[in-house]
Structure 1
Amino acid sequence: MIKVLVVDDSPVAQELLVYILQNDPKITVIGRANNGKEALTFLQSKRPDIVVMDIQMPEMDGIEATRRIMETNPLPIIMVSSFWNPKEKEKTFIALDAGAVAFIEKPGGVQHQNHETTSRHLTNMVKLLSNSEFLRPKADKAIQATCIKNEVILEKDREAAGKLKLIAIGASTGGPQTIQMLLKNLNKKIPVPVLIVQHIAPGFVNGMVEWLAKTTSFAIHVAHDKENALPGHVYFAPDGHHMGVKSNLTIFLENNSVPENGVCPSASFLFRSVAENIREKAIGVLLTGMGKDGAQELKMMRERGAITIAQDKNTSIVYGMPAEAKKIEAATHILPIHDIPVILEKLTLNRCASQLNK
Structure 2
Amino acid sequence: MNAQARSTGHKSPIKVLVVDDSPTVREFLAYLFASDPGFQVVGTAANGEEAVAAVKNKKPDVVTMDIHMPRMDGYAAARAIMETNPVPIVIVTGSLSEDELRSPLAALEAGAVAVVRRPANFHLADQAECIRALMQTVKLMSEVKVVRRWGSHPQAKSMTEPHVDVSVQRDIKLIAIGASTGGPLVLRQILSQLPKPYPIPIVAVQHITEGFVGGFAEWLSGASGFPCRLAEDGESILPGCIYLAPDGKHMTVSRQGRVVLIDSEAEHGHVPSVSCLFRSVAEAYGAHAVGVLLTGMGQDGAAELGSMKDRGALTVAQDQSSSVVYGMPGEAVRLGAASQVLSPEKIAAALAALVYSESLSHGKEGVT
CA distance in structure 1 between the aligned counterparts of 2:258 and 2:306, rounded to whole angstroms: 23
Cα deviation code 1:96-150 (max 9, x no counterpart): 1222111111134552556332333233223322323325898542235599876
Question: 1:193 aligned to 2:207?
Answer: no
Q: How does 1:5-84 map to 2 (within 5 A)?
A: 5-84=17-96
State the secondary structure of the residue aligned to 2:272. coil
Cα–Cα, structure 1 residues 262 and 83, in superposed 2: closer, same or farther, change >3 Å? Answer: farther
How much does 1:35 deviate?
1.0
- SS of 2:144's equivalent? coil
Change (3 A) 1:39 1:218: same
- Residues 1:275 and 2:285 aligned together: no
Q: 1:119 aligns with which of 131, 139, 145?
A: 131
Q: Tell me whether 320-329 or 346-355 shows the greater mean CA deviation.
A: 346-355
Q: 2: CA distance between counterparts of 1:231 and 1:94? A: 27
CA distance in 1, matches of 2:107, 2:117: 14
Structure 1 stretches of 5 or more lacking a match? none
- Give, in whole Å, the separation in 1 of the partners of 2:144 and 2:273: 23
TM-score when scaled to structure 2?
A: 0.87
Shift of the alpha carbon at 1:335?
1.2
Pairwise CA distance, 1:250: 1.3
Note the C-alpha offset of 1:243.
1.0
Which position in structure 2 is the counterpart of 1:202?
Answer: 210
Determine whether 1:230 maps to 2:242: no
Which stretches of structure 1, 4 residues or more, deviate above 3 A after TM superposition?
83-88, 135-140, 143-150, 351-357
Aligned to 2:312: 305
Q: Is 1:135–1:317's contact at 8 Å kept on the other side of the alignment? A: no
Q: Which amino acid aligns with 2:339?
A: T
Letter in 1 for 2:156: A
Cα RMSD, aligned residues only? 2.5
Aligned in 2, Cα 1:61/1:192: closer, same or farther, shift over 3 Å? same
Once residues 229 and 101 of structure 2 are traced to their aligned partners in structure 1, the CA distance between those partners, rounded to angstroms, is 17
TM-score, normalised with respect to structure 1: 0.90
Picking from 155, 164, 179, the partner of 1:141 is 155
State the AA in 1 paired with 2:192: K
How far apart in 1 are the matches of 2:58 and 2:111? 20
Distance 1:299 1:260 in 2: 16
Task: Give the alignment partner of residue 265 of structure 1, picking from 264, 272, 289.
Answer: 272
Q: Which amino acid aligns with 1:318?
A: V
Quick one: structure 1 residues 190 and 287, their matched pair in 2 at CA, closer, same or farther if it must change by over 3 Å?
A: same
Give the distance between the partners of 1:319 and 1:206, measured in 2 at CA. 26
Q: Give the aligned length.
A: 350
CA contact (8 A) 2:85 2:148 kept: no
Contact 2:293 2:328 in 1 (8 A): yes
Deviation digits for residues 212-256 of structure 1 (CA, Å, limit 9, x no counterpart): 1111121111111111111121110111111111223211111x3
The 2-side partners of 1:311 and 1:89 are apart by 27
2: CA distance, partners of 1:128 / 1:323? 17
Q: Is the 8 A contact 1:132 1:319 kept in 2?
A: no
Which residue of the partner structure matches residue 329 of structure 1? 336
Identity %: 45
Q: Structure 1 88/114 Cα, relative in aligned 2: closer, same or farther at 3 Å?
A: farther
The change in CA–CA distance for 1:356 and 1:30 in structure 2 (over 3 A counts) is: farther
Q: Distance in 2 between matches of 1:336 and 1:192?
A: 21
Alignment check: 8 A CA contact 1:183 1:218 kept: yes
Change (3 A) 1:195 1:92: same
The 1:136/1:154 distance shift into structure 2, 3 A limit, reads: farther
Please state if 1:129 is matched with 2:141.
Answer: yes
Q: Give the whole-Å Cα distance in 1 for the aligned partners of 2:288 and 2:240.
A: 16
Does the aligned pair in 2 maintain the 1:4–1:50 contact within 8 Å?
yes
Counterpart among 150, 164, 167 of residue 172 in structure 2: 164
Distance in 2 between the 1:49 and 1:187 partners?
40
Distance 1:135 1:180, change over 3 A: farther
Q: Call closer, same or farther: CA 1:149–1:209 in 2, change over 3 Å.
A: closer
SS of the aligned residue for 2:58 comes to coil
Per the alignment, in what secondary structure is the counterpart of residue 36 of structure 2? coil
Q: Higher mean Cα deviation, 64-73 or 176-185?
A: 64-73
Offset at residue 195 of structure 1 (A): 0.3
Q: CA deviation at 1:317?
A: 0.8
Answer yes or no: is the 8 Å Cα contact 1:9–1:58 preserved in 2: yes
